[in-house]
Amino acid sequence: MTRSASTCAIVLAGGRSTRFGSDKSLALLRGEPLLAHVLRACAAQFPEVLLVAKEPARYGSFCGDARLVRDRARVSTPLAGIEAGLAATAAEVAFCCGGDMPFAVDAALLDALFAALEGHDAAVPVSGGHLQPLCALYRREICLAAATSALAEGPVGPRRLLDAVRTAQLPWPDERPFVDADTREDLARIASISFPVS
């Protein structure tokens, strides 16, 4: 599958940030909120960007042209955010990433994921033996139905969705796209990594 198909990016923000100690999406990285870096990278690659959060309005001042989508699920799990984003778009394929992952939008990785998606419902990178469901592609129609069904069982994560659909697993040697800011130490590590020149 090529990127010429109907696509969008779904960025998940506003999780509990328990280990970070405050809303990590609002933490400053090089003078602006971490989430702003992710949204800008997505806007450069996708015609539509959706920002999904329990309280999306809190990010409105720097979300650019991203469409704000409220995650209304009672459970707090990334899968609920993915479901909300898939329900809010008409795009055939969605790239989902976390709002604390400033390197997730990697052109080479995206090209490889779109190629891997051919004949599958989802394409997910594998790094260090671990699936990376918050840096993955999902076909809207089948994955929305599977996410809704999985969430009916309770607060399950995105891996439950990946188990329920035809998922292509793509080994990826570069860990940089999957670096996220779970802690303040992680944010300091992110700040020390060179950003790609745009």
What confidence score (pLDDT) does residue 124 get?
A: 98
Strand partners, 11: 51, 97
What confidence score (pLDDT) does residue 63 get?
A: 78
What confidence score (pLDDT) does residue 34 get?
A: 84
The dihedral of CA 177, 182, 188, 191: what is its sign?
A: positive
How far apart are alpha carbons 46 and 91 in whole angstroms?
11
Q: What are 139-196's pLDDT values in tens digits?
A: 999 999 999 999 998 889 999 999 999 999 999 999 999 988 877 787 778 788 766 5
What confidence score (pLDDT) does residue 17 get?
A: 55
How many Cβ atoms from other residues are within 10 Å of residue 130's Cβ? 10
Model pTM score? 0.91
How many residues can be counted in the chain?
198
- Ranges assigned E (strand) in 90-179: 93-98, 122-127, 130-131, 135-139, 167-171
Which ranges of the chain have pLDDT less than 50?
Answer: 2, 197-198
What is the token pair recorded at 163?
């188990």
Q: Are 119 and 134 in contact (CB under 8 A)?
A: no
What confidence score (pLDDT) does residue 5 get?
A: 63
Residue identified by tokens 């400033």 is 102
What confidence score (pLDDT) does residue 16 get?
A: 56
What confidence score (pLDDT) does residue 169 get?
A: 98
